[in-house]
Structure 1
């Protein structure tokens, strides 16, 4: 019997904080970019967060079974996780935080599309295919944005493309976890695989691309603390607690708040312009995500038997 609870005030509050943290991470990368190269920042945060997760597992007496039978799948998700943040780190060098957060959060759309063909239980209904079409139409519209800006700043298109690739990498990580033995693995163990592999690969990437610059300013250390302790450790611990105690499908629907926060914070803090075409495209992407992820929940609400 499923003992997970429906959404309540506690879940809403925690998801609000979780989405706020994820929406803020691109903004913080942009702010700290003057002192720390984004890829180096993401490498350092992965190492610090990995140590924190390992310490937490030791404290709760959960075994650190990195060399167990799931190490191959753990290595794969670690590599995909690394690509996600390598693409994101490069994306914020060229595009706005607002664009990066919206394109990164297309991951649920890519994941649903791939899982439809790989896992029988993940087959989509007709309404969800409408959500897929809405989302991809929104991506196209948001990607083009203002044609004048695109011509004047071709680097922005590159940044947008890299952010989409980050979303695709995130989706592939989800697919591997969902369709392998990692689906039954400890979530903290899986997170530890991701963080440790990302630390190694992103550090190598920073070295190969010459992104070693670290100016030890208060802003740099504050940003590193936020990225490693708040986002990569605490926020994901909250997420795992939520999906353990609440119905995951309904919790996942609330993830649409992340790009909303990212766009608003990018505009307020970084004074980023929001082009009309991008705003409309972003709304279509959000509508698609809600329709794909929230289909089961909405179906229950519509067809719920009347008392």
Structure 2
């Protein structure tokens, strides 16, 4: 029996904070890119967060399970998680942080498609297929919405946007592997540790191979590293896993659309990034699609509830 409950005030407040944090992370990476390459910064934050998760596991008496073969899907999610942030870090070199956060958070769309194919219990309904169609239509509109006033050349920004979309695909694939493997029953800390270690190894190798493993130790860089290591990669992920254990995942997933909204707002406010009408025209159906795919059942319940109220009036 599912003991998870509907969202209450505590869950809503925590989700708002998490969405703000997740929407801000790309902006902070972009803001400090002149002093530390995003790929190298994500590698460092992943290594630091892995140490923190390892210490937490030691305090709790948790051990990494290897005998049951869980390391195999663990290795896969580690590589996918590292690939996601490699694409994100490279994409930020070419496009706006606000663009990157929208394309990265297409991940629920790709995860839903993968789970529909792999798990009979995750079959998509008509409303969710509508959400997927809206999301892909919005992606097409956003890619076509170029303007000469952008912060980068149109072709360069297009490449960065495409890398962001691939990062969302890698994130969605990570979700599918976790749900369809023995990691689905593993402790959240163990899954997170596999992801962080994979990102650290892959991104550190990429940073050195491409000559991006250098930085100027400014106060802003140190503040960014602390924010990303302690707040983003450690505290926010653990808070998210805690919410998933306590509350209905479909209700939580609906809130994911707020992260791109915060990312767009923070990018315009802190980085003075232009908000292009063509990009916004595409972003709106993408966000609506995310809501329909992540919380299609909840949306149907709301619509049916409104219908019953009208009948009773």
* Displacement of 1:302: 3.1
**1:146 alignment partner in structure 2:** 146
Distance in 2 between the 1:126 and 1:272 partners? 37
- Contact 2:253–2:291, Cα closer than 8 Å, also in 1: no
Query: Counterparts of 1:148-297 in structure 2 under 5 Å?
Result: 148=148, 152-297=153-298
- Contact 1:27–1:97, Cα closer than 8 Å, also in 2: yes
Cα distance change, pair 77–152 in 1 and its aligned pair in 2 (3 A): closer
- Provide structure 2 residue ranges, at least 5 long, that are not aligned to the other structure: none
**1:96 alignment partner in structure 2:** 96
**2:59 alignment partner in structure 1:** 59
Distance in 1 between the 2:297 and 2:30 partners? 37
Cα distance change, pair 271–147 in 1 and its aligned pair in 2 (3 A): closer
Secondary structure of the corresponding residue to residue 65 of structure 2: coil
- Provide structure 1 residue ranges, at least 5 long, that are not aligned to the other structure: none
**1:120 alignment partner in structure 2:** 120
Distance in 1 between the 2:156 and 2:232 partners? 28
Secondary structure of the corresponding residue to residue 93 of structure 2: helix
Distance in 1 between the 2:104 and 2:188 partners? 22
- Contact 2:35–2:221, Cα closer than 8 Å, also in 1: yes
Secondary structure of the corresponding residue to residue 6 of structure 1: coil
Number of positions where the alignment pairs a residue of Structure 1 with one of Structure 2: 307
Cα distance change, pair 48–178 in 1 and its aligned pair in 2 (3 A): same
* Displacement of 1:149: 5.5
Cα distance change, pair 265–147 in 1 and its aligned pair in 2 (3 A): closer
- Contact 1:54–1:64, Cα closer than 8 Å, also in 2: no
Distance in 1 between the 2:81 and 2:292 partners? 26
- Contact 1:98–1:262, Cα closer than 8 Å, also in 2: yes
* Displacement of 1:15: 0.4
Q: Under a length normalisation based on structure 1, what TM-score does the superposition of the two structures give?
A: 0.96
**1:10 alignment partner in structure 2:** 10
Query: Counterparts of 1:10-49 in structure 2 under 5 Å?
Result: 10-49=10-49
Distance in 2 between the 1:285 and 1:67 partners? 42
* Displacement of 1:295: 0.7
Distance in 2 between the 1:107 and 1:149 partners? 28
Deviation digits for residues 108-135 of structure 1, max 9, x if unmatched?
0111112211211111111111111100
